[in-house]
């Protein structure tokens, strides 16, 4: 919790100092817990009806309470398509990234990576 | 001015849209390709800035002896205390001073260790600092430090931020705000901690009201200094670049719409995180150090220790890090001050002296300022309490304590200032905490009266409306 400016268990704070560090970025990107959360979130998006664009908007609503704007959607779908190709080609390990679950491992891993990206947006992390 | 900058940036990003993200991605990919070519110049808000006047020091290593070491056992020899041991200090000396635990009429406790003069400078220090005695001609000892605070957390925050309540920027933050960063690979302001927890907590390295990119980055002392540097299993570096590209693109869109500079900090943090994935393992690879260097510090690479932190500090400064603070917590000798000093000196003396020697040998001492000291001193009177199980300790003493400085801009081999014969008050050449802060900034080429930030309607400084540069200890 110190990475996110939390006090240690033996004291309390009226207000936390706010930092915004590379350590937080590393935690949100790579910590096993956040990776698992990204898998679950990706699986939920993948399970929602419609095409990739509709699934992406489902993800946006879950995380940001809004659908994505056109340019954002274009960027994220581009990312999805690139990673899907790289997973299918074996450049990335779909089984390891996607974890256990039903359905196509490439799809699962690709959506996990999209969910992970969305979870790391400033808008997701910070309430303004 | 700030408003104008934001508006300009907003127009820039809204006009360019995702193109900027692609530009950033191209930049990252180009960096990957150029990685073999050595250090890159830092750009953006942390780009190096010229100092106010030519600087002696480029970097600072602050050895923060948290808990407050006893100056009377280490640097400030007071034979008079042995003479009158067991008697109270005259009330007229004590004045209205209040203490955390003891009563002002507590009896005097004599020095617990022998003192001797060392080096050509003849500086008088205690037998508990045999390694420091070897480099005493390279340091400036200030025996006349004074603070306003007599409890740990506020005094630590005061030493770092010039103000006793949390919420203002720390010295390391002011310095990176003033001078920017020389390292594109590592954070500009790094904090490490050995010993116990730090009473003042993260307020000690907070950026306060400065943009949060200036806050200290905490490295762990045990195990990996930075967690989660490795990507999830199954990933590769291209994935890291792609992910950073899409996250950065969307964050830039948000920055353009929102204008909050903290979004720019977040973008920079993610880019730094990516670079740490390669720079952190390299930094930590102490197998690059010779056995002789490890022995100099008394460092066993696999063990968390103050010595390891000192060696890492040198490696950080070598790689362009601007400000490193190592907290060694554990000097709070309320009971058995002799045992406390002995134990902490065993952990810190050798490595502190080694740091000075090592920096000198590498030609880095002239450009690196080393500052050693705690948040206050300890009382000439004994602390003893049957209820608390304490005997032969010393309480907190804000009126007089000792620090030492070495390297960039500091005159070597001087002892500055003196206390009265009881070590109770400063007798000559008082150096208040704000004066120390002004002096540190001066060594870095910064005028503490000109290093300001407008917040809540007025310009703020590290030294508030105080502080005089201590010219007597400058080279």
**CB-neighbour burial class of residue A111 (10 A; exposed 0-12, middle 13-18, buried 19+):** buried
Distance CA A38, CA A109 (A): 10
Q: B207 to chain A: nearest residue by CA? A: A19
What is the distance between the alpha carbons of residues B375 and B137, in angstroms, rounded to a whole number? 24
- Reduced DSSP (H G I as helix, E B as strand, rest coil) percent helix, strand, coil of chain B, to 5: 40, 20, 40
SS3 B59: strand
Check CB contact under 8 Å for A19 and B254: no
Q: Is residue A106 part of a domain?
A: yes
Question: Is residue B241 predicted with pLDDT exceeding 80?
Answer: yes
d(CA B184, CA B45): 12
Confidence of residue A27 (pLDDT cuts 50, 70, 90): very high
pLDDT of residue A20: 77
pLDDT > 70 fraction of chain B, expressed in percent and rounded? 91
Identify which has the larger pLDDT, A10 or B352: B352
Given a contact cutoff of 8 angstroms between Cβ atoms, the answer to whether B143 and B416 are in contact is yes
- Say whether residue A11 is in contact with chain B using an 8 A CB cutoff: yes
Average pLDDT over every residue of B85-111:
87
Report yes or no on A39 lying in a domain.
Answer: yes
- Mean predicted confidence (pLDDT) in B21-46: 55
Residue in A closest to B263 by C-alpha: A122
Closest chain A residue to B239, measured at CA: A83
Q: Which of B167, B234, B273 sits opposite A97 (nearest CB)?
A: B234
- Interatomic CA distance for residues B349 and B323, integer angstroms: 21
CA B43/CA B46 separation, integer angstroms: 7
Query: How many residue pairs from chains A and B have C-beta atoms closer than 8 A?
Result: 146
CB contact under 8 A, A17 and B226: no
Query: Rounded mean pLDDT of B351-359?
Result: 98
Short-list B331, B415, B338, CA closest to B373: B331
User: pLDDT-based confidence at A10, cuts 50/70/90?
Assistant: low
Question: Structure tokens of B98?
Answer: 């209040």
Three-state DSSP at B372 gives: strand
Using the Cβ of A37 and the Cβ atoms of chain B, whether some distance falls under 8 Å is answered with no
Of B215, B226, B239, the CB nearest to A92: B239
Residue whose structure tokens are 């200094």:
B225
> What is the pLDDT at residue A110?
97
Q: Which residues make Cβ contacts (< 8 Å) with residue B34, sequence separation at least 6?
A: B40
- Going by pLDDT thresholds of 50, 70 and 90, the confidence category of residue B213 is confident
- How many Å apart are CA B458 and CA B461, to the nearest integer? 10
- B420 torsion bin: left (phi>0), alpha (psi -120 to 50), beta (else): beta
Task: Kindly list the residues from chain A whose CB atom is less than 8 angstroms away from the CB atom of residue B265.
Answer: 20
Cα separation, B206 vs B166, whole angstroms: 8
Q: Quick one: pLDDT at residue B278? A: 83
Give the structural domain span for A35: 19-125
A9 inside 8 A of chain B by CB: no
DSSP state, A91? S
Q: Hey, how many other C-beta atoms are within 10 angstroms of the C-beta on B8?
A: 10
Q: Using CB atoms and an 8 Å cut-off, which of residues 95-124 of chain A contact chain B?
A: 95-97, 109, 113, 116-117, 120-123
Q: What is the pLDDT of residues A93-110, one digit of tens each?
A: 999 999 988 889 999 999
Average pLDDT of span B433-444: 98
pLDDT at B2 exceeding the cut of 70: no
User: Is the Cβ pair B232, A18 closer than 8 Å?
Assistant: no
Q: What number is the average pLDDT over the span B349-371?
A: 98
Tell me if A2 is assigned to some domain.
Answer: no
- Please check the confidence at residue B31 and state whether its pLDDT lies above 80: no
Is A79–B243 a contact, with Cβ atoms under 8 angstroms apart?
Answer: yes
Q: Which has the higher per-residue pLDDT, A107 or B259?
A: A107
Q: Is the pLDDT of residue B24 over 60?
A: no
The pLDDT tens digits of the residues spanning A53-81 come to: 999 999 999 999 999 999 999 999 999 99
Say which of A8, A75, A96 has its CB closest to residue B234: A96
Would A11 be classed as within a structural domain?
Answer: no
Residue A1 lies in a domain: no
Mean pLDDT (chain A) is: 90
Q: Looking at beta carbons, which residues of chain A come within 8 Å of B190? A: none
Distance between the two ends of chain B, CA-based, in angstroms?
38
User: What 3 state SS string does B283-303 have?
Assistant: HHCHHHCCHHHHHHHCCCCCC
Q: Which of B206, B253, B269 sits opposite A22 (nearest CB)?
A: B269
pLDDT in tens, B264-311: 889 988 998 999 988 888 898 899 999 999 999 999 998 889 999 999
Cα nearest neighbour of A35 on chain B: B232
Residue A67 belongs to some domain of the structure: yes
Could you give the number of structural domains in chain A?
1
> Which CATH code fits B48-222+304-473?
3.40.720.10
Residue A11: which pLDDT band, with cuts at 50, 70 and 90? Answer: low
Instruction: Identify the residue whose tokens are 């063990």.
Output: B303
Q: Is residue A51 part of a domain?
A: yes
- Mean per-residue pLDDT of chain B: 90
Best of A13, A18, A21, A78 to substitute, by most chain B Cβ atoms within 10 angstroms, is A21
Phi-psi region of B338 (alpha: psi -120 to 50; beta: other; left: phi over 0): alpha
**β-strand pairing of B217-218 with B189-195:** parallel
Contact check, Cβ <8 Å, A82/B201: no
Neighbour tally for B454: CB within 10 Å: 11
CA–CA gap between residue B417 and residue B401 (Å, rounded): 10
CA dist., res. B394 & res. B403, Å (int):
18
CB distance B206 to B153 below 8 Å: no
Residues B60 and B323 sit within 8 Å (Cβ to Cβ): yes
| B250 contacts: CB under 8 Å, gap ≥ 6 | A72, A75, A76, A121, A123, B21
**Chain B residues touching residue A95 (CB < 8 angstroms):** 234
pLDDT for residue B336: 95
Q: Which pLDDT does position B94 carry in this prediction?
A: 83
The domains of chain B are located at: 1-36+235-290, 48-222+304-473
- Percent of chain B residues past pLDDT 90, beyond the cut: 72
The whole-angstrom separation of Cα A92 and Cα B348 is 47
């Amino acid at each position: 919790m110190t990475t996110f400016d939390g006090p240690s268990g033996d004291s309390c704070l009226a207000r936390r100092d706010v930092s915004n560090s590379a350590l937080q970025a590393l935690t949100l990107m790579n910590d096993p817990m956040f990776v698992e959360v990204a898998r679950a979130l990706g699986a939920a998006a993948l399970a929602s009806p419609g095409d990739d664009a509709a699934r992406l908007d489902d993800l946006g609503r879950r995380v940001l309470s809004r659908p994505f704007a056109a340019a954002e959607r274009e960027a994220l779908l581009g990312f999805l398509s690139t990673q899907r190709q790289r997973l299918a080609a074996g450049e990335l390990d779909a089984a390891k990234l996607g974890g256990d679950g039903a359905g196509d491992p490439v799809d699962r891993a690709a959506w996990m990576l999209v969910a992970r990206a969305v979870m790391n947006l400033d808008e997701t992390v910070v309430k303004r | 001015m700030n408003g104008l900058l934001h508006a300009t940036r907003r127009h820039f990003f809204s006009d360019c849209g995702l193109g900027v993200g692609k530009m950033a991605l191209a930049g990252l990919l180009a960096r990957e390709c150029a990685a073999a070519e050595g250090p890159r110049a830092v750009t953006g808000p942390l780009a190096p800035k010229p100092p106010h006047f030519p600087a002696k020091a480029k970097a600072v290593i602050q050895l923060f002896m948290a808990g407050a070491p006893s100056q009377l056992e280490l640097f400030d020899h007071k034979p008079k205390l042995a003479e009158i041991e067991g008697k109270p200090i005259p009330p007229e000396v004590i004045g209205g001073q209040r203490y955390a635990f003891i009563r002002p009429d507590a009896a005097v406790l004599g020095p617990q260790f022998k003192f001797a003069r060392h080096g050509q400078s003849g500086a008088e220090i205690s037998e508990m600092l045999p390694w420091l005695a070897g480099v005493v001609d390279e340091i400036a000892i200030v025996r006349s430090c004074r603070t306003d605070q007599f409890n740990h957390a506020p005094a630590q925050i005061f030493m770092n931020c010039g103000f006793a309540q949390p919420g203002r920027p720390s010295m390391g933050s002011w310095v990176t705000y003033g001078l920017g960063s020389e390292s594109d690979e590592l954070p500009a302001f790094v904090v490490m901690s050995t010993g116990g927890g730090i009473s003042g907590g993260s307020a000690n390295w907070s950026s306060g009201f400065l943009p949060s990119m200036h806050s200290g980055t905490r490295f762990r002392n045990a195990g990996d200094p930075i967690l989660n540097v490795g990507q999830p299993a199954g990933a590769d570096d291209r994935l890291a670049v792609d992910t950073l590209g899409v996250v950065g693109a969307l964050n830039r869109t948000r920055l353009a719409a929102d204008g909050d500079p903290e979004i720019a900090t977040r973008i920079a943090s993610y880019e730094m995180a990516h670079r740490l994935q390669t720079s952190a393992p390299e930094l930590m690879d102490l197998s690059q150090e010779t056995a002789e260097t490890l022995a100099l510090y008394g460092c066993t690479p696999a063990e968390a220790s103050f010595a390891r932190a000192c060696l890492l500090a040198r490696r950080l400064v070598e790689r362009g890090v601007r400000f490193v603070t190592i907290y060694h917590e554990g000097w709070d000798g309320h009971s058995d001050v002799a045992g406390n000093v002995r134990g902490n000196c065993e952990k810190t003396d050798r490595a502190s002296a080694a740091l000075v020697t090592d920096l000198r040998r590498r030609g880095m001492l002239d450009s690196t300022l080393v500052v050693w000291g705690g948040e206050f001193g300890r009382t000439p009177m004994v602390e003893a309490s049957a209820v608390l199980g304490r005997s032969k300790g010393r309480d907190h003493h804000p009126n007089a304590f000792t620090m030492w400085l070495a390297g960039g801009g500091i005159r070597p081999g001087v002892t500055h200032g003196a206390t009265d014969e009881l070590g109770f008050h400063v007798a000559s050449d008082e150096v208040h905490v704000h004066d120390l802060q002004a002096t540190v900034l001066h060594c870095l080429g910064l005028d503490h009266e000109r290093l300001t930030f407008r917040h809540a309607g007025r310009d703020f400084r590290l030294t508030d409306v105080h502080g005089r540069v201590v010219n007597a200890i400058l080279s």
